Structure 1
């Protein structure tokens, strides 16, 4: 569903000169899986997802999403994807329902289809109690649920979740995580970007560890643990990005 080959993005900064935000990234993600993109803040995760979502143009390399080239066929790529960031970015004076109807119209959906999807997503994301409230009155978690519904209203086969639980309380984050699992059950290709290792362990079928704009490793949890020679995932992560002498909790195999 997603094929990325030697993708690069370089920015020019007045103070730092050329900044290589993404360097020679290659990966594949399939339908029916949650593909994790794990790395610290500033590793290049968001830049990578923005290129795949056609928000940014690559400096070099290539990628296809849903069979469409991200540079030559950006409009077709956009028809295949939903994209959610940690920032809700909602129109404050609209209600959640109005927001979804507005974006449904932008997607070219028929009014009856929009309303049917709103009912479906309201049930899946527990939005009934606040769907008709103005967005400026909603909590952070409620806004994020409206944002998720907005991103997947057109039922895309590929969904990008970029730090979707950032700033959420436990219960709101749990709802988001539950819906991500639901997307997998529906056969969607889910790309889940985060710096929170516990989320990766709980959700992801395969993981790409990104550090300094490069892919340090790709594999299942079991494969990454075997490669690093450790069980505790923080140790696995640190070893795979090159911190070989990082301390490890007592009892971790490999020590």
Structure 2
């Protein structure tokens, strides 16, 4: 797929000495939904602000559809829409006026039919003549989205777009996002609702302490870093794991009545067959079994809270190393 956003060796150090970003390298393909996950203070908003021209980078470069955001800032900026975290709106303007004005800021000719369609998609049409100061917080959030879409951007940034909003708005927003993706718009979102990323995103990026830790296709990520557990309800409690089964890393629970095996998603079939064969040979029977799998949230938490000094299992091929480029084929 064609790359629409290319970030190379991007770093940001504020005047206070705070290093917000370190050597970020990332390519995002046209028409994908990319979820950027990270804890508070990880650098998500700083990265978005640099791409959108709000904050200046200390080092590195950013190109949007081939346009450098510094040397060719007008062309680059006209391709980007941003829905910020903060509810910053023109309180005394009407919904129609502020959305139409946002379109004009980018030199777009008036298009009442397009503005109407955006407002209807966001359930704002009945509020089009209302002053923004009279709207609820959820409606103001909808207005921000409409303003970001007013100039028909090719890349849309959603920075914590559903934080503190009602269920209806979340549902409407994701329907809108799916429609934009179908029309070739690239969506880059940050969210604390990891279930949204798990449902919506094509690829997942994890950022922590200003560094990209991992970029991977969602399904591949779940396969590579996901963990599964097989729990067996034993027909007779065990006092200890037999020596012949020690290599399997089994764990006893519920007073020895449950036996748990944790394994990688990629090796489940052969491993489970071999384990059950070994249990049978050891004379250990079971009455029931169940399996469970780690979620994207489990993977995210384990990555972010990983002890840097502790040994870790080999990382996926797309995990970042300083100075190397993040590219995942689509």
Question: In the TM superposition, what whole-angstrom CA distance separates every residue of 1:3-43 from its partner, at most 9, and x where no partner exists?
Answer: 11111111132xxxx21101111111111110111111111
* 47-56 vs 171-180, which moves further: 171-180
Runs of 4+ with >3 A deviation:
none
On the 8 A contact 1:165/1:173 being kept in 2, the answer is yes
In the alignment, the residues of structure 1 paired with residue 104 and residue 201 of structure 2 have an alpha-carbon distance, to the nearest angstrom, of 33
Bigger CA radius of gyration = 2
Tell me the residue number matched to 2:300: 237
On the 8 A contact 1:208/1:218 being kept in 2, the answer is yes
Which ranges in structure 2 are unaligned for 5 or more consecutive residues?
Answer: 228-293, 308-330
Which ranges in structure 1 are unaligned for 5 or more consecutive residues?
Answer: 245-255
Tell me the residue number matched to 1:253: none
Q: Please state if 1:73 is matched with 2:72.
A: yes
In the alignment, the residues of structure 2 paired with residue 193 and residue 219 of structure 1 have an alpha-carbon distance, to the nearest angstrom, of 15
Q: Please state if 1:152 is matched with 2:149.
A: yes
In the alignment, the residues of structure 2 paired with residue 56 and residue 23 of structure 1 have an alpha-carbon distance, to the nearest angstrom, of 15
On the 8 A contact 1:66/1:158 being kept in 2, the answer is no
Tell me the residue number matched to 2:96: 97
1:12 aligned counterpart, secondary structure: coil
Tell me the residue number matched to 1:139: 136
In the alignment, the residues of structure 1 paired with residue 218 and residue 45 of structure 2 have an alpha-carbon distance, to the nearest angstrom, of 22
Question: In the TM superposition, what whole-angstrom CA distance separates every residue of 1:114-164 from its partner, at most 9, and x where no partner exists?
Answer: x12111112211112212111001111111111111111111111111111
On the 8 A contact 2:100/2:150 being kept in 1, the answer is no
- Higher RCO (CA < 8 A, seq sep 6+): 1
In the alignment, the residues of structure 2 paired with residue 105 and residue 65 of structure 1 have an alpha-carbon distance, to the nearest angstrom, of 21
In the alignment, the residues of structure 2 paired with residue 224 and residue 165 of structure 1 have an alpha-carbon distance, to the nearest angstrom, of 24
Question: In the TM superposition, what whole-angstrom CA distance separates every residue of 1:79-111 from its partner, at most 9, and x where no partner exists?
Answer: 111111122311111110111122222222223
Task: Report deviation, 1:221.
Answer: 1.7
In the alignment, the residues of structure 2 paired with residue 105 and residue 188 of structure 1 have an alpha-carbon distance, to the nearest angstrom, of 20
Q: Determine which of 147, 164, 170 is the counterpart of 2:161.
A: 164
Q: Determine which of 198, 203, 206 is the counterpart of 2:200.
A: 203
Tell me the residue number matched to 1:21: 20
Q: How many residues align?
A: 239
In the alignment, the residues of structure 2 paired with residue 5 and residue 92 of structure 1 have an alpha-carbon distance, to the nearest angstrom, of 38
In the alignment, the residues of structure 2 paired with residue 229 and residue 120 of structure 1 have an alpha-carbon distance, to the nearest angstrom, of 41
Tell me the residue number matched to 2:10: 7
Tell me the residue number matched to 1:128: 125
